[in-house]
A and B are shown apart, each in its own frame.
Chain A
Amino acid sequence: MSTEMRADPGLYDYALRPPRLPDPPKPENDHLPIDIEVRVGMYEMQQLIRQTEKRAHDLFLQNLVKGTTHLSLGMEAIATGFARAMRPDDYTFATYRGHAHTIARGADIKKVLAELLGRETGLLKGKGGSMHLTDVEHGMMGSYAIIGAHLCIANGAAWSSQMRGTGQVTVCFFGDGTTNIGAFHEAVNFAALWKLPVVFVCENNLYMEYTPIDLVTPVEHPAADRASAYGLEAVLIDGNDADEVYVTAEEAISRARRGEGPTLVEAVTYRQGGHSRADPGKYRPSEELQAWLDKDPIKLYHQRLLRLGVPESRLTEIAQDVARRVDEATEFAKASPRPGPEHLLTDVWADGGSEWRN
């Protein structure tokens, strides 16, 4: 009788693991039927996310950001493609890696950076910080730090839209590690059964913190290979191609809006940095990291737009304009005051204060 475990403990030695290389980019996606101005807009959005997040990282190194930050560098195409396909009154639910989704839904980056710096002018008056970015005005219903829990909350929002008959769709983002959490299972099962207008998007960046997802998942595609358990179709896409994300999002969102129920999308991507600001990400083979850096979503998108005839000068202008806006936002955030102690007990309850409870 064999007593050998299937997961060879040797696999935990990262040096022994084969690199997980990306699929090649798809030039054929140049021909997807997407208006060129929509594409230029998505280029600008990816630039805005990238540059804002890089600035956030710099500010962190200057000790101006309190707490921690989780960046989406390399994953901008997913937030961008989905947000572009959403209606202004649709809902977004994200994880603590939520800067990209907040910005993509149209939040003012001044308020985003101010929030990261803990300033009164921030999205949450400086009391939430990087891991809790929320902007209800733009449908960004929160960044959640408990892995998996927000899928159930997203269901609640979707259910509410269903009952109110508003046609709003909820899009809920989460990482690959979440797919092994019980709440994922409960939420997707429930949504599929009740045909909730929700789109679940697994941003599979191959690592849950420092653990390669394939070490703890018995199937190759942690979300797509699970779809059948809920009677859903498997949808596996290139998460580094904003156009592919956009057309997938349009289809899934329209389906949900038509009352045909949820879609579970797995977008394969890679975080170019570590898990959080405290992690240099040294556990990843350099060959793997390099291959994914070469598949940078913004770089590839830039090349696509050039192929489609957008002048290089226009793209440069966009990038420069974004840089200027990020600078302005940085100055705004730095100049903003910190919330005073009188704000300590406010904004917790819907009725404004906690006084009547005391």
Chain B
Amino acid sequence: MRQLLTPSGDLVGEAPFGLDLCVRLYRAMVVARSYDRKCVALQKQGRLATYAPFEGQEAAQIGSAAALEPDDWMVATYRDAAAMWAQGYPMELLVAGRTGDERGGSPPDHVNVLPPSITVGGHMVHAVGLAWAERLQGSSRIAITYFGDGATSEGDFHEALNFAGVYGVGCVFFCQNNGWAISMPRSAQTASETIAQKAIAYGMPGVQVDGNDLFAVYEVTRQAVERARAGEGPTLIEAVTYRLGPHTTSDDPGRYRDAGEVEEWRRRDPLERVRIFLSERGRWDPEWQAEVEEKAAREVERAVELAESLPPPAPGDVFGGMFESPPRHLREQQATLELYRAAGEG
């Protein structure tokens, strides 16, 4: 397993970036954690629908997204808000989506991030399609797709990786193996020793990385992205991490996993090791941390305010955001709705 920064903050290899970028990425992880905790709180207050927290996976998401170009494609899941935000998806739309507002699924045109996929595994095929389309058009854009350990047992995983492998499609498959697929432990998910080794089946390189190590995640993703951009084909990355929270706000992990296991992973916190690293280099102190956290909280608050101040959607909006040119049956339903509303108002 690739590792550059140990849980105690020791560098075991060469840092893949300078201190300035390290500081930026640390701040981003703080924002991500702040966002995640805020969303859990909002859900408890009844202001968000079900929410899938990613606490513990910040390095995997922020580190990998940092290795992309701003216009690269990202196709991710309901647990990848940090990566999506880092790739330019407006935070207020991420929040809006979780309030059940369909407008949350329509990012601005210049943002090459698809709305989060709820269907486990299905979106990986879309990422391959996007990367392939870019290749056919002679563009250097690549795609990255995020998924969990559970998704690797889906048929779509197999079909997506096979297709990408045989056509040399520029797609990076980023698996966050967080140990649990809802209540199913990794050991009960597949008999293969690692998820990374599944790459062999598709003729592509597979790499296992400490997913709580910002440095190593960035470095292996950068290499995979470079390969993809150079037309050398896809890579499967297995980032070994842990979901510290429940599967979603509707789940009680205490019913299926040991509190000791959670504590053990808490000691491998992805933020903590970067904090120590920065501190030892004179770039961190408690006042600065407080300032970073306060700024993060303000950014998240602003996003929540924007999301909650969106005017309520009109009933007819339900027809939007799906088709470039809606099929006849939807146009008919839309016309019926308009007639009905006109009659009701008249």
Contact A181 B168 (CB under 8 A): no
The residues of A that contact B306 with a CB separation of less than 8 Å are: none
B6 to chain A, nearest CB (A): 29
Interface residues on A, range: 20 to 34
Q: How far is the CB of A293 from chain B (nearest CB, A)?
A: 29
Flag if A219 contacts B201 (CB, 8 Å). Answer: yes
Q: CB-nearest residue of chain B relative to A183?
A: B155
Query: Do A193 and B156 have beta carbons less than 8 Å apart?
Result: no
- Are B140 and A1 interface neighbours, CB within 8 A? yes
B contact residues around A181 at 8 Å (CB): 155, 158-159
Tell me whether B193 is interfacial, beta carbon within 8 Å. yes
Interface membership of A6, Cβ < 8 A: yes
Give the nearest-CB partner of A1 in chain B.
B140
| CB of A5 closer than 8 Å to a CB of B | yes
In the complex, are the beta carbons of B198 and A229 less than 8 A apart?
A: yes
User: What chain B residues lie within 8 Å of A192 (beta carbons)?
Assistant: 190-192
Chain A residues with CB under 8 Å of B135's CB are 3, 5
Q: Which of B134-163 contact A (CB under 8 A)?
A: 135-136, 138-140, 153-159, 162
A185 vs B157: C-alpha distance when bound (angstroms): 9
A185 touches B192 (CB 8 A): no
A229 touches B192 (CB 8 A): yes
How far does the alpha carbon of A226 sit from the alpha carbon of B136 in the complex, in Å?
Answer: 28
Minimum CB–CB distance for B182 against chain A, Å: 16
For the complex of A and B, list the 6 residue pairs with the smallest distance between their C-beta atoms, beginning with the closest: A182-B155, A6-B168, A218-B203, A185-B158, A218-B165, A231-B191
17 A-B residue pairings within 8 Å (CB atoms): A1-B229, A3-B139, A3-B140, A5-B167, A181-B158, A185-B154, A186-B158, A190-B153, A192-B192, A193-B190, A193-B191, A218-B165, A218-B202, A228-B192, A230-B190, A231-B193, A232-B191
Q: Which residues of A contact B202 (CB under 8 A)?
A: 218-219
By a CB distance below 8 angstroms, the chain B residues around A351 are none
Are B157 and A7 in contact, with the CB atoms below 8 A?
no
Given contacts A183-B155, A186-B155, A193-B188, contact A229 B166 (CB under 8 A): no
Please give, as numbers and ranges, the residues of chain B lying within 8 Å of A225 by CB-CB distance.
200-201, 203
How many CB-defined contacts (below 8 Å) exist between A and B?
Answer: 100
Collect the chain B residues with CB atoms within 8 Å of residue A7's CB.
Answer: 166-168
Name the distance in Å between A299's Cβ and chain B's nearest Cβ.
35
Q: How far is the CA of A2 from the CA of B232 in the complex (A)?
A: 9
Which residues in chain A, 211-242, are within 8 Å of chain B measured between CB atoms?
215-219, 225-226, 228-232
Q: Does B115 contact A (CB under 8 A)?
A: no
Provide the bound-state CA to CA distance between A190 and B203, in Å.
Answer: 22
The listed residue (B136, B188, B190) touching A231 by CB distance below 8 A is: B190
B residues touching A (Cβ–Cβ < 8 Å)? 135-136, 138-140, 153-159, 162, 165-168, 188-193, 197-198, 200-204, 229-231, 233
Given contacts A6-B233, A217-B162, is CB(A189)–CB(B203) below 8 Å?
A: no
Note all chain B residues with C-beta closer than 8 A to A183.
Answer: 155
Assess the A1–B231 pair: CB atoms within 8 A.
Answer: yes
Chain B residues, CB < 8 A from A4: 231
Q: Kindly name the residue among A181, A215, A228 whose own CB sees the greatest number of chain B CB atoms within 10 A.
A: A228
Write out the residue numbers on chain A whose beta carbons fall within 8 Å of the beta carbon of B140: 1, 3
Whether A184 is near chain B, meaning CB under 8 Å from some CB there, is yes
Report the separation of the CA atoms of residues A190 and B135 in the bound assembly, to the nearest whole angstrom. Answer: 35
B192 neighbours in A (Cβ, 8 Å): 192, 228-231
Among B154, B191, B198, the most chain A Cβ lie within 10 Å of the Cβ of: B191
Q: Is A180 an interface residue (CB 8 A)?
A: yes
CB-CB contacts of A304-334 with B at 8 A, as 1s and 0s? 0000000000000000000000000000000
Q: Please, how many angstroms separate the alpha-carbon atoms of A178 and B218 in the complex?
A: 36
Q: Which of A6, A193, A231 lies in contact with B167, CB distance below 8 A?
A: A6
Cβ-neighbour of A230 out of B139, B155, B191 (below 8 A) = B191
Please give, as numbers and ranges, the residues of chain A lying within 8 Å of B201 by CB-CB distance: 219, 225-226, 228-229
Residues of B within 8 Å of A3, CB to CB, are: 135, 138-140, 231
Residues of A close to B168: CB separation below 8 A: 5-7
A2 touches B230 (CB 8 A): yes
List the A residue with the shortest CB-CB distance to B229: A1
Does B159 contact A180, Cβ atoms closer than 8 Å?
yes
- Distance between Cα atoms of A6 and B201 in the complex (Å): 17
Contact flag A189-B153 (CB < 8 Å), given A229-B201, A230-B191 = yes
Beta-carbon contact of A184 and B158 below 8 Å: yes
Q: List chain A residues, Cβ under 8 A from B167.
A: 5-7
Residues of B within 8 Å of A6, CB to CB, are: 166-168, 231, 233
In the complex formed, the residue of A with least CB distance to B134 is: A3
With a CB–CB cut-off of 8 A, which chain B residues contact A219?
165, 200-203
State A4–B167 Cα separation when bound (angstroms).
Answer: 10
Q: In the bound complex, what is the Cα–Cα distance between A3 and B189 (angstroms)?
A: 37
B233 contact set on A, CB distance < 8 A? 6
Query: What are the residues of chain A within 8 A of B188 when measuring CB–CB?
Result: 193
CB distance from A11 to the nearest CB of B (A): 11
CB neighbours (8 Å) of A218 from chain B are 162, 165-166, 202-204
Q: CA–CA, A3 to B193, complex, Å?
A: 35
* Separation of A3 and B136 alpha carbons in the complex (Å): 8
Chain A residues near B166 (CB, 8 Å)?
6-7, 215-218
A189 and B154 alpha carbons, distance in the complex (Å): 9
Q: Which residue of B lies closest to A2 (CB)?
A: B231
Q: When chains A and B are docked, how far (Å) is the Cα of A232 from the Cα of B200? A: 13
